[in-house]
Amino acid sequence: MVQKLLLLFLLISISAQSQEIEPENLFSTKIGENIKKYRQNSQAAYAAKDFERAESLFDSLINNVVNESYLDNFKVKKLSGRKVELYDFEKPVFLMTYASWCTPGVGEIPALNEVANKFHDEIDFVILFWDTKKNVKKIASEYSSKFTILYVDEKENTHDHIVQTMKHSLGFPTTFFIDESKKIVDVRRGVLHPYNEKYDTSFNLNYNSFVNGIALIKDFAAETDRIVAKE
């Protein structure tokens, strides 16, 4: 009983802290301080067709800058038109940023639906489209009902720094794996795929990438539970 009360207290504390995150620890601040140099080096690597270096630069940015920063809170819309905030989600969050003009691999959406159906009791699954409501409505039905579909129409947020930072920093599709306190545990770009890729190959590559990211969130939660238990 004591352990359960301690865990409850910890979760409440984490929730409260998520609303009082210091600006210097926010994703928008961390990425803003480093994105210019990253883009210059990344563009040079791609121009030289040094794809290995380009991937290494991305991994370095994520591991040394983005991970352990906190997701910014900002308002987005559901297809119903109702506004919500990203901090409204209380569970760990699987957040994929997307756009309707992106072409997913043949197995990507089935893999997404599989992981959402499997883990939705423990994790909030969210897809945030940088797009118009009209475009998002056309494709929303392809996703499991376990996903919360959100969108941001940048034309309605032309002076919103956070929106511009979120959209234009890492590209998309990009998946953020976020713990209960809104700390970013990992970030992964969409699996690169040739258009003639077989379904099984595409499904397995995407599914494994998603599950590995989810495992990081679950491991973090398990470690938190162990700390509480020791106390």
Distance from C-alpha of 201 to C-alpha of 207, rounded to nearest angstrom: 10
Distance linking the first and last C-alpha atoms of the chain: 13
- Which pLDDT tens digit goes with each residue over 3-32? 443 444 344 444 444 457 888 899 999 998
Task: List beta partners, residue 177.
Answer: 94, 186
Q: What is the pLDDT of residue 19?
A: 52
Q: Where are the domains of the chain?
A: 72-224
Residues 6+ apart with CB under 8 A from 18: 70, 87, 180, 181, 182
How does 1-15 read in b/e, with b if 16+ C-beta sit within 10 Å? eeeeeebeebeeeee
**Sites in the chain below the pLDDT cut of 70:** 1-19, 157-160, 192-195, 220-231
Q: What is the pLDDT of residue 165?
A: 75
For 3, 4, 89, 222, 230, the CA distances from 226, given in Å and listed in that order, are 10, 12, 24, 6, 6
Distance from C-alpha of 14 to C-alpha of 20, rounded to nearest angstrom: 10
Q: What is the pLDDT of residue 23?
A: 86
Q: What is the pLDDT of residue 70?
A: 95
Q: How far is CA 127 from the centre of its chain?
A: 8
Q: What is the pLDDT of residue 220?
A: 58
Q: What is the pLDDT of residue 197?
A: 82
Q: What is the pLDDT of residue 122?
A: 93
Q: What is the pLDDT of residue 43?
A: 94
Q: State the pTM of this model.
A: 0.83
Q: What is the pLDDT of residue 194?
A: 63
Of 83, 94, 70, 73, which is closest to residue 153 (Cα–Cα)?
83
Q: Which CATH superfamily is domain 72-224 in?
A: Glutaredoxin (3.40.30.10)
- Which pLDDT tens digit goes with each residue over 195-213? 678 999 999 999 999 999 9
